[in-house]
Amino acid sequence: MENPEIFGELEVRFIQPYQAKKSYECPGCNRSIDEGIGHVVVVPVESPDLRRHWHRGCWEKKSV
């Protein structure tokens, strides 16, 4: 999801460290988000299957 904007409305949820039960790859920096790390999940409202997990810092940098 290089350009999340094209998916229209996005729902951004913050995942608490205890909720991060597995590791994910962050599309912002292409590095992994380890288990137990708080991060954000970005869900396109119309295509929830395309949700992506981002480091909080990467997402904030991108949204500015």
Give the separation between CA 56 and CA 5, rounded to whole angstroms: 17
Interface with Zn ion (CB under 5 A), residue from 39, 52, 53, 55:
55
Q: Residue written as tokens 């990467």?
A: 58
Q: Residue written as tokens 């288990």?
A: 35
Binding of Zn ion at residue 20 (CB under 5 A)?
no
Interface with Zn ion (CB under 5 A), residue from 13, 14, 23, 29:
29
Binding of Zn ion at residue 58 (CB under 5 A)?
yes
Give the separation between CA 24 and CA 3, rounded to whole angstroms: 18
Sites of contact with Zn ion (CB under 5 A): 26, 28-29, 55, 58
